[in-house]
Amino acid sequence: MSIRLAASAVLAVALSGCAVEKWPEPPTVDQAQYQKTYQTWLDEQQQTAREATKEVGIWPLPEGETPFGADASLPIVLPIATAPSRAGVFRRAGETITVTPARGVVLEVGDGGPVKTSTVAEGQIAFGSVRMFVFPMSEGRQFVSASDEEHPLLKTLPSVQTYPVDSRWRVAARFDAFDAPKMMPVADVRGGSAEYPAVGYLTFRIGDREQRLVAWGFEGRDELAVMFKDATNASTTYGSRMLSAPMVAKGEWTVLDFNVASNPPCAYSQFTTCPLPPAENRLAVAIEAGEKRFPTGRGFVQQ
């Protein structure tokens, strides 16, 4: 169970008979269990940083042929010393993408084992320490990314950094649901956009000031997801962070725990892809909780 679910049971608030409605406090948590789930979250973020640090490039795949290898004249240049000068070529025809190894190069594609002829580019494409993945994005875009399982930075990878855990950053949030989900266009760092299902606002207070964030609700998930910016982005945190809260019914209360506000993969590497927070989710207040900017500074630069 995630820390969001473990620490954020639905709030049952009885306010009848009060002349002035009071903002509820989040439910108390068992501190030993909280520390355990918090450490699990921290370990997960460290693993995300490790995986993102392996990335060495990301490229769009246009129609036609796109050769790849270490040769600097190729459209896809692999900055890995052990990569062949020409490792192979991708061929795109609409949504179909194949990969063909160069002469003398053996590629392992997906679960099919080594291949020496053209094959559909599905799953991992591996040769030496190189791992490549072809993946679609919205608006008909196709990309290929490459990582190095022996990336030199892995030997000195720093630990993720966070603000100290502080209970005041666990806040009660009311789910002000829309009558029906609204498809919201959300930009991404690669210059495109996709539609996300906005299901309502999470309304909460920081100090005595009311704040709200647009929440996304994805099919098959029992969480409300938010991506936000705040006043710490210019100094101690990355340009956006992510958070989730347990799904509740319209008008009911849940918990936003900013102590586990997470960096997206783009905070660790410029060769990843992430959505950008919608304009509605830019908080003027400084959220001095959760994950800080990664020490290497290799992330995708956001304004």
Instruction: Tell me the C-alpha distance between 151 and 224, whole Å.
Output: 35
Is CATH 2.60.200.20 the right assignment for the domain spanning 55-150? yes
Question: DSSP letters of 23-72?
Answer: PPPPPP--HHHHHHHHHHHHHHHHHHHHHHHTEEEEEE--SEEEEEES-T
SS (H, E, C) 96-109: EEEEEECCCCCEEE
Coil, strand or helix: which one is 150?
coil
What pLDDT score was predicted for residue 229? Answer: 98
What pLDDT score was predicted for residue 18? Answer: 39
Closest Cα partner for 125 from 114, 110, 105, 112?
A: 110
Give the pLDDT confidence of 209-257 residue by residue, as tens digits. 999 999 999 999 999 999 999 999 999 999 999 999 999 999 999 999 9
Instruction: Give me the phi and psi of 294, to 5 degrees please.
Output: -70, 135
Calculated CA dihedral for residues 223, 210, 283, 231, nearest 10 degrees: -120
Pairing of strands 142-148, 170-187: unpaired
CB neighbour list of residue 279: distance below 8 Å, 6 or more residues apart: none
What pLDDT score was predicted for residue 21? Answer: 57
Instruction: Tell me the C-alpha distance between 265 and 248, whole Å.
Output: 28
pTM (2 d.p.): 0.89
Distance of CA 29 to the CA centre of its chain: 27
HSE-CB of 295 using CA atoms within 13 angstroms = 10
Positions of the chain with pLDDT lower than 50, given as ranges: 1-20, 303
CB neighbour list of residue 63: distance below 8 Å, 6 or more residues apart: 92, 93, 94
Give the pLDDT confidence of 262-279 residue by residue, as tens digits. 999 999 999 999 999 999
Closest Cα partner for 87 from 72, 73, 67?
A: 67
pLDDT > 90 in the chain, percent: 87
Instruction: Tell me the C-alpha distance between 270 and 272, whole Å.
Output: 6
Q: Which residue has the tokens 């603000």?
A: 163
Q: Tell me the domain boundaries of the chain.
A: 3-53+159-281, 55-150
Residues 11-18: contacts with CB under 8 Å, at least 24 apart: 11/172, 11/252, 11/253, 11/254, 11/255, 13/253
Which string of b and e fits 255-273 if b means at least 16 CB within 10 Å?
bbbbbbbbbbbbbbbebbb
| Burial (CB count <10 Å: 0-12, 13-18, 19+), residue 103 | exposed
Q: Which residue has the tokens 């002829």?
A: 117
Both tokens assigned to 182 = 């609204």
H-helix or E-strand spanning residue 209: strand 209-216
H-helix or E-strand spanning residue 5: helix 3-6
